[in-house]
Structure 1
Amino acid sequence: MKMPPEHTLRFDSFRLTDLLVDETVISIETSPEERGRIDAWEELKRAKSDRLILVQDTTPDTVTVLSRNESQTVQLTDGARLVSLADSDNVLIDITALPHHVWAPVFQAHLKAGKQVRVLYVEPDGYKTHPSPASANLFDLSISFGGLSPLPGFAKLAGPADDEPALFVAFLGFEGNRAERIINQLEPQPRVIPVIGAPGFQINYPAITVACNRSFLNEFDCNADIRLAKASCPFEAFETLASIRQDFPDHYLYIAPVGTRPHALGALQYAIANESHCEILFDHPVRQSNRTNGRGLIHVFSFAP
């Protein structure tokens, strides 16, 4: 069996003693899901610790955080201000309940600033079944979508050159219509390389992902091009993108991280390191409350400066 990378730790529960010395935590103040409520953060909150930064409110462009008993609003494109929120060189970002448009620029800002960044993600024990399950939406995960627009800090002024071929790399999840809606806004439509999370969080999840995306896979005739990356591993997602780039060295990569959060994390890490030949495409889902059940494994990923 392939062992987890040495820069990934797994926990059944996360305690204060599992934090690094002087590590500052960035997390959501109130999680709508059970898995987003970490006992260690509650302890820090009761102690009114200056090692805890809580996200209280967000807009598409700003985030309001509680830090050192004071609330402040920061532009999500202001990397220097985001980094200044934490005094420590060690930062842990809990992405379990934070929206992508918040944790992505926070992750990018601290990584580019040379901080020792760790990212925590808690698996759900299960997902809420859709009241009217269909082939493309077995689980009830999103209310609506904000539409295709850049994640803060990841906007590109120019895409591929007119004569540069492109690929659409889609990290697929359980919402089978997301990748199709995104690629339909690209003209001309590039060749599709799908990425499935396998092994999945649970043994049947890869098969469910394929079933939910069957229409997309068939329409773009890309079943033979499917790549696999462990659903819980951002580093395998990064390596998959690196492998695709090696196979198509002259192609521009449109990357749609609409699958697992660890896959999205790896995709963003790749985009940060390879700004010249790729861009992130995201559709900003409005999530259902209580869309997951219970709490599974806790993953902590380490990103060296």
Structure 2
Amino acid sequence: MRLIAPSAASTPETFDLVFVSQAIDERGSRSLEIARNSANHVVEVDYDPETFHLKLGDAAFRASDLDSIRQAFPGAMILLDATSLDPVEMLILSRAFLYNAEDRRRLGFVYAEPAHYKPATVAIGMDYAFTFADKFRGLKSVPGFANELRDDEGGRLVACLGFEADRLDRILQDDDGNFIKHVTLIFGVPPYRTTWEMHALLPHERVISKHRSCELAFAGANNPKATYECLKESFQAIGQGERLIIAPLGSKPSSIGIALFACCRDNIRLKYDFPVKLEGRTEGVGAIHRYLVDRR
């Protein structure tokens, strides 16, 4: 993990390719500027959860066709603009470039924190309500992470959480909720800014008190490795007849951690509700990070 200077034009490294999506706020535009300046070629990304197709530039690929994606985009250094890409897009691309242990790639991520989040309502104390999506497409399967739980199989859910408690409710009320035997909720602590953790903890208080099998875990909001380690602990705790279920609902760095953990493992189930992002949901630009990993 490395901080990028606020005035920097690019990352310290030059990448062969960068994968980007659309900016919806000021920090997104700044992240895109850095990402585009850091690579020799820029590829626009758009995943359709209805058709399971991933559009990469002018070409469309089935999300399960990792070999075709890998072969279509050669290059030893690959950059993902985590600010604009959604968690599923990062997961599919991470799987395409890191799953094959013989195909040595280095994968980088650039991410810009916001200076402020805009609350949807004004409240007393820390109990604000935040709305970051115009709507949700709903829980949909993702190739490679869609194997159904068997009737005799229990789920161990690990969810990284943000400020919107209804997203976790949506997962627990889904059919899989009947099979979930244990829940680990990962909160971004330390947060980007002091007190921001309360915007996540308070809305989820009801869910935490309702589910006796729920345990809390904490990983720095801008620390993918800390999220990775939390997932590793949960994975090691899986008993016979259990399956790990992951839900990337928190900060983008936590979604990077989830992508890096899940992309090289099989038999993990993903739960994601595909929000349609609301433009202008943040203000300003905070710290800008570059993360760099490879398959070992």
The TM tier, using the shorter chain, reads: 0.7 to 0.9
Closer, same or farther: CA 268–133 of 1 in aligned 2, 3 Å: farther
Larger deviation, residues 123-132 vs 240-249:
240-249
Question: Over aligned residues, Cα RMSD in angstroms?
Answer: 2.6
Q: 1:253 to 1:43 in 2, by over 3 A?
A: closer
Corresponding residue number in structure 2 for 1:5: none
- Structure 2 gaps, min length 5: none
Note if contact 2:24-2:278 (Cα within 8 Å) is conserved in structure 1: no
Distance, in Å, in 2 between the alignment partners of 1:221 and 1:165 is 16
Matches within 5 A, 1:276-287: 276=267, 278-287=268-277
2:222 maps to 1:235: no
Unpaired runs of at least 5, structure 1: 1-7
**Where do 1:212-291 residues align within 5 Å?**
212-221=203-212, 225-250=215-240, 251-276=242-267, 278-291=268-281
Residue 78 in structure 1 maps to residue 68 in structure 2: no
Deviation at 1:152, TM superposition (A): 4.1
CA contact (8 A) 1:136 1:176 kept: no
Greater mean alpha carbon deviation, residues 71-80 or residues 109-118: 71-80
TM-score by length of 2: 0.85
Q: Tell me, what secondary structure is at the counterpart of 1:199?
A: coil
Structure 1 counterpart of 2:166, one-letter code: N
DSSP-derived class of the 1:256 partner: strand
Q: SS state of the match for residue 273, structure 1?
A: coil
| Contact 2:160 2:186 (C-alpha < 8 Å) held by counterparts | yes
Q: Give me the identity figure in percent.
A: 23
Poorly superposed stretches of 4+, deviation over 6 Å: 132-137
Q: Cα–Cα, structure 1 residues 160 and 123, in superposed 2: closer, same or farther, change >3 Å?
A: farther
1:268–1:280 CA contact under 8 A, matched in 2: no
Report the secondary structure of 2:107's partner residue: strand
**Contact map agreement 2:121 2:128 (CA 8 A) in 1:** no
Give the deviation of 1:136 after TM superposition. Answer: 8.4
Aligned to 1:301: 291
CA spacing shift, 1:141–1:124, aligned 2, 3 Å: same
Q: Aligned partners of 1:136, 1:144: CA distance in 2, in Å?
A: 22
* 1:52 aligned residue: 42
Q: Provide the TM-score with structure 1 as the length reference.
A: 0.82
TM-superposed CA distance for 1:216, in Å, is 1.3
